[in-house]
Chain A
Amino acid sequence: MAELETEGVSRRGFLKVCSLAAGAVGLPAWAGEKMAEKAAGSAKPPVIWLHFQECTGCSESLLRTSAPDVAELILGLVSLDYHETLMVPSGYQAEKSLEESMEKNAGNYVLVVEGAIPTKDNGIYCRVGGHTAVETAKKVAAKAAAVISIGSCASWGGIPSADPNPTGAVGVDKVVTGKPVVNIPGCPANPYNLLGTVLQFATFGTLPALDGLGRPKFAYARTIHEDCPRRPHFDAGRFAQKYGDEGHREGYCLYKLGCKGPATHANCSLNHFVEMPGAWPVGIGHPCVGCTEQKIGFRVPLHDTVDVERPTAPGTYPPIHPDHSVITPAVVGASAAIVGALVGAGYVATKKITADSEKHAGKE
């Protein structure tokens, strides 16, 4: 602890961070304390961070988190052994520290991958230090305890894999086999979801429960729509019709502008970015683009609307006796014609037989 405090981190502040992270993973407060204890001790979880086809947005958003700030994070909570953007060394020196860390922490370190891996033409579209992304990922993952794909690119290709996917970009779990891979999609991913996962692993040696797409359930089980602060407007049928119209200025629901919230699983509506209230797309008046969904983000056009996954009742009630009318004029007309024809035929037939019969009687 003394070591940490010299870095300008108070014990209380550190505990708070750990509690926040524990809360994010769905663990009780005592787990936060335990995480803090563990992290304060010597055994900080070693982390190796690889960058492939990406924009570094995920790293950037991690850096902009204020609690913990970047120093706290990389010096106090984890032991970040290799991160191309943040590390001081470069070139051969940098590659050496990667090798060293892999040797020293073999089987213990956490591998975080940022960015998609190109597979087309033997993966020549992304090389670092002379090695293709495929080679590096496979090599580093082989000795890792767990692999975390941060961001949508690492999770399943993200933007680089958008049509027509010129480099054959795929997610990490398509390249790395035989290791548990946790996907933390998002563009960028919410840093807390990464932190929670890493700390849980470091403290308890377990990974969080995952959904069908490999996403931690603590963050991705529910849709944005379910916890959206604009939800009452949706239920009441109040929608922004276009950007800047009255409804948009009033903060109405953005569904009709193409919000993908009703089909997008993520905790954005609860855990805003970088602890800034309202710092997330819907908060600033832009529809959710569905970045955490493999089938939506960068696939479905921005302003197309999506199906609502779990619809609930609107803000209006049915009356006691709702209208169930089924009558259409065409069929009424046709039926009238049929009945008319029957009556007419009966009448004509009667007339005719009567006349014939009278004639017959007359003859006899």
Chain B
Amino acid sequence: MSDHDHPRAIGGKPFDPLMKTLLAIFGVSAVVMVYRFFTGVGPVSNMTDGFTWGIWEPVNVVVFTGIGAGAYGVALLCYLLNKGKYHVLVRPAVLLGAICYTLGASSIVIALGRYWNSYWLAVPTMWNLSSALLEVAVCVLSYVAVLWIEVLPSVLDGAAQSKSSAWSQLGRTWGPLLAKAMPYIIALAILLPTMHQSSLGGLLLIAGPKVHPLWHTALLPTLFLISCLSMGYGAVVVLTTILNLTWKAKHDQRLFAEMSKVNAGLLLLYVVLRLGDIAIHGKLAYLGFNGYTLLFVVEIALFLVPAFMFFSPRVQQNKGRLFGAALLTVAAGASYRVDTYLSVYRPAPGWDYFPSFGEIIVTIGMAAIGMAIFIFISRMFPVVVVETRDHSHAGSGRVLTAGSR
């Protein structure tokens, strides 16, 4: 690796209009969240005893962590399969993962009814090991810690280059030490998501009578694991493309094309497993002219279309098309997850659900603060690898609005 591939802090004004907007959105959602702590979950949400997780669990946790799985996917490629060229992506992906997982974990606290009892999670003798949610909770919490430790090198690098001598000393002492410990932390950073992402699918195994047969299968853990990887790779491409447009982040088309071929394999594997499972278990009879079939077809299409796009040279060579295909993979994973947890979940006749404004605002607010934290950290610390041949500072006006979903 050459010197110009090193990430650096973006700098710039911390409170630009985008940041202000994001913080304002979060502010509104924060009001809802605080209100919830005084009145209970009921008044701010449409959650009922039938749809008890609303959208906070399926979206804030299951989808957000799916997006955050980019850190997992890149770590898998970069460290385990030793593809050093993916190093460029590690820091943004890890930061994205750390933020997404933190948001997921904090959303859980908002949704938990008796959050003050969570301290028991720290006491292993209290664990009910047969609970899939326990595994998810413990793994996600540990993984959040691991991810932030993985973010630390950026911070320590930043510190080492700092003008303040104490700060710089801190960075120089701890940086190498951390580097030595990194392999063990990275191994954890691969093990934990493997466990909990499959368990996220495993959560619904027990809800057999309530989840539509086209979605309920013993393969749920496997399918969730695959879909988190596909979402993660997609999210990394999307993120880097946006960073490239806004801050001239290094954008290696060939690297993305290669990674996307891996992703295409995952997407196809998902479709094969899914269809095969349905066929083997004689569930094809559930397909017909109904809403479930429509959802199913849309879902499969969302997985298939980007898979084929990734193989096409036209897509591989064009930043925009690759971006679009990557967006589709994120949408595919997200729709699979939301469908399984929500759209095809039917507790009993008579129950229905649609999120309330309160719930939607909290979800959007969480996404907003996530973006704000990402921007803030990238500005302060060396996370993003910037193209060195063009030193002119990236204007954040026009392109930014296009990229800022």
A residues with CB within 8 A of B: 321-328, 331-332, 334-335, 338, 342, 345-358, 361
Contacts and interface: CB of A to CB of B under 8 A. Distances in A.
Given A321-B348, A324-B352, A325-B352, A338 B360 contact: yes
B324 A346 contact: yes
Interface stretch (B149-157, B314-322, B375-383): B314-322
B324 A350 contact: yes
Nearest to B241: A353
Given A331-B356, A345-B405, A350 B351 contact: no
Contact of A349 (B46, B323, B357, B360): B323
7 tightest Cβ-Cβ pairs between the two chains A and B: A354-B320, A353-B320, A350-B324, A321-B350, A321-B349, A357-B319, A327-B354
A350 B320 contact: yes
Contacts of B318: 354, 357-358, 361
Given A321-B348, A321-B349, A354-B320, 7 more contacts: A327-B352, A331-B355, A345-B405, A346-B405, A350-B327, A356-B320, A361-B318
B352 A346 contact: no
A99 to B, nearest CB: 67
A326 B55 CA distance: 14
14 contacts: A321-B350, A324-B351, A325-B350, A326-B356, A331-B46, A334-B360, A335-B355, A346-B331, A348-B402, A349-B402, A350-B324, A353-B241, A354-B319, A361-B318
B292 interface: no
Contact residues on B (Cβ < 8 Å of other chain), bracket: 20 to 34
Interface in B328-376: 331, 348-357, 360, 364
A353 B326 CA distance: 13
Contacts of A348: 402
B346 to A, nearest CB: 11
B216 to A, nearest CB: 21
A206 B349 CA distance: 61
Contacts of B402: 348-349, 352-353
A236 to B, nearest CB: 24
B320 A355 contact: yes
B219 interface: no
Interface string B119-162: 00000000000000000000000000000000000000000000
B50 interface: yes
A331 B357 contact: yes
B48 interface: yes
Contact of B353 (A326, A351, A354, A356): A326
Contacts of B331: 346
A346 B320 contact: no
Most buried by B among A328, A331, A348, A349: A349
Contacts of B49: 324
